[in-house]
Amino acid sequence: MITTFNHGPVHGFRLGRTLLGKGRYFTACFHLDGLLIDSGCAHTGPELAAALAESPLHTVAHTHSHEDHWGHSAQLQAQRGVRVFSPEPTLDLVRGQADPPRLMPYQKVLWGPPAPCPGAEPLPEALETPRHRLTVIPTPGHSPDHVCFFEEEQGWLFVGDAYTGGRDRALRRGYDIWGIIASLRTMAALNPTVLFCGSGSVVEDPAAALRDKISYLVVRGQYVLELRRRGWPPKLIARSIFGREPAISYITQGDFSTVNLVLSYLADSPHRPA
């Protein structure tokens, strides 16, 4: 399933595999002046290619190396000769020179494994299009290699998965929650006018949205650390602060869970408060 929308010259593509007649767990990519930011997942590649058929396209740039963000890059490079740029820490993975992570069943069903992109290049400090310049902003936490793209003149910030709306009650294994908070602060300091998010949402009041998200995550982290100082075990902390495990925990076989969120608050991180 694919839906498209426009925000000025930015063209958005919201993509999700159709299961039981509905699109599930959407991801997104954004087209601006011949630049495509992310390329969705492998399962939705043909729909994205068809949607882009009449659009100029010279570059694909990845926000990070999770499988739902670069699933069609190799095909676009082969079919249209585009340049593909990816964060350097995971460039070997994207090029197919490193063993890919083993996908869990939900990842295989929803997104599928991306094809290696041997011609991928490391991201430069900025991406140039005929009309725009987008600075690459490191925003680790969601993944160690995560970056955002900032069009300073317009204030547009393409955030990938560095910002997600709502109040998180679960976290995936391997995420760094304190790193996520630090990156949200980095993003807020840029004073963006619009956030283009990896889920396909567009946030037009970024200051308030980022402030609220940071406050929520910091306060929950303080609760977690205080209960741990009192000797509470992680599972009891998770139940006390975040309640029962949400449905996503069962769908992902515990890959996302409230306990993972608590464990990330407790884990060593260069951004964790003393």
CA distance 19 to 34: 31
Among 126, 216, 239, residue whose Cα is nearest residue 163:
216
Distances in whole angstroms, Cα of residue 192 to Cα of each of 63, 189, 195, 206, 218: 17, 8, 7, 7, 21
* pLDDT tens track for 105-129: 999 999 999 999 999 999 999 999 9
Q: Are 261 and 243 spatial neighbours (Cβ–Cβ below 8 Å)?
A: no
Q: Are 25 and 110 in contact (CB under 8 A)?
A: yes
The pTM is what? Answer: 0.95
Domain boundaries, the chain: 1-125, 132-274
| Topology given in CATH for the domain delimited by 1-125 | Metallo-beta-lactamase; Chain A (3.60.15)
Measured N-to-C along each axis, helices 177-189 and 206-229 cross at an angle, to the nearest 10 degrees, of 150
- Bridge partners (DSSP) of residue 37 are 30, 61
Instruction: Give the burial class of 192: count Cβ atoms within 10 A of its Cβ; 0-12 exposed, 13-18 middle, 19 or more buried.
Output: buried
| Ranges assigned E (strand) in 202-274 | 202-203, 256-257
Superfamily of domain 132-274: Ribonuclease Z/Hydroxyacylglutathione hydrolase-like (3.60.15.10)
Confidence tier at 26 by pLDDT (50, 70, 90): confident
User: Does residue 15 contact residue 2 with C-beta atoms inside 8 Å?
Assistant: yes
Question: pLDDT band at 59, cuts 50/70/90?
Answer: very high
Domains 1-125 and 132-274 share a fold: yes
Residue-wise pLDDT tens digits, 176-202: 999 999 999 999 999 999 999 999 999
Asked if the model's pLDDT at residue 22 lies above 80, the reply is no
3-class SS of residue 172: strand
| Separate counts of helices (H) and strands (E) for the chain | 9, 15
Report CA 65 to chain centroid distance, whole Å: 9
Kind and range of the H or E run holding 156? strand 156-160
- Please tell me the predicted confidence (pLDDT) of residue 16: 87
Q: Output b/e per residue, 55-90; b: 16+ Cβ within 10 A.
A: eebebbbbbbbbbbbbbbbbbbbeeeebebbbbebb
